[in-house]
Amino acid sequence: MGLKVGSRLRSQNSSCEVIVIKGTDGDDVLKCAGVEMAATAPPSDAVMVTDGTPVELGKRYSDDADTVEILCTKAGVGPLTLGESELTQKAAKTLPASD
């Protein structure tokens, strides 16, 4: 199945929402706070987590191999994981000096 570029995914147990910037064709599943993310809104009776690693609005997250990149569009509680590896926040690129 994989993660398709442009897919909007929602956490099923947190307020977190993301867009896939760089996808993958693998069978790994993107999870937030231990639960698989889906394109649909969480059920109204879902138990929301309140404690965990924060996923910050506007930040990009990727795995160690840089095979997938996710952009957070709504902050929430994580962590974001792909398969067995936790996604980490990408550092901003430094701009060249304009002397």
User: pLDDT above 90 covers what percent of the chain?
Assistant: 67
Look over the chain and give the mean of its residue pLDDT values, rounded to a whole number. 92
Burial per residue of 52-80, b for 16 or more beta-carbon CB atoms within 10 angstroms, e otherwise: eeebeeeebbbbeeebbbbbbeebbbbbb
Condensed to tens digits (0 to 9), the pLDDT of residues 16-43 reads 999 999 998 888 899 999 999 999 988 8
Please give the average per-residue pLDDT across 46-69, as a whole number. 93
Confidence of residue 62 (pLDDT cuts 50, 70, 90): very high
Distance of CA 23 to the CA centre of its chain: 11
β-sheet bridge partners, residue 31: 36, 81
pLDDT of residue 99: 66
CA dihedral 78, 80, 38, 19 (to 10 degrees): 110
